[in-house]
Amino acid sequence: MIWEEQNLQFEFGEQWHVLKLDEHYDYRERIARLGGTKSVDFLGVFNEHTVYFIEVKDFHGYRIENKDRLQDGLLADEVGQKVRDSLACVISAHRNSAQQEVWKKFIDLLCNRQKDIKVIIWLEQELPIHPIQQRKALASISVTKFKAKLAWLTRYVMVSNIANNILPDVKVVNLPRTSA
């Protein structure tokens, strides 16, 4: 299953069941009608075992503009809220959707304390050329801030990208960028 998000293409293997949540009818026509509601980009189940909330941020060309969001924890707040709203969407859709079978798999895993829930912040950005500046840029991405905002749900919170892909059985590539 292949999905595009921002300037990235995600190819999920056979062991995945994935929804592009913000495009799903049950999100758009139900909970998204409540002002200010947001969702993660992908909601997935891997190997019938683990639920993944995946938020994609492609900061290529916008690293400097987003530096403060990363350092001040604003992006962590945003991701925490998106996960919260996405969870509300799953519950609502399971209760009210005509497609309850789509949501049952998620509900069963989310309610089972023996199963894992993982939040992945997929963060692409161009790094400075100089190694010291690269280390500083990478250090500004504090997974601790993300973990603090998501501790209410899970301790499995990770930042990933193409160079350090931690998603099992997923291939991610950059798509050609159009110049503005």
Per residue in 68-119, pLDDT tens? 666 677 899 999 999 999 999 999 999 999 998 999 999 999 999 999 999 9
Within a domain: 139: yes
pLDDT tens, residue by residue, 7-45? 999 999 999 999 999 999 999 998 999 999 999 999 999
Would strands 8-12 and 156-160 be described as parallel, antiparallel, or unpaired?
unpaired
Are the beta carbons of 90 and 21 closer than 8 angstroms? no
Within a domain: 7: yes
Look up the domain containing 92 and give its range.
2-174
| pTM score | 0.89
Total tally of structural domains belonging to the chain: 1
Within a domain: 180: no
Within a domain: 87: yes
Within a domain: 104: yes
Are the beta carbons of 31 and 88 closer than 8 angstroms? yes
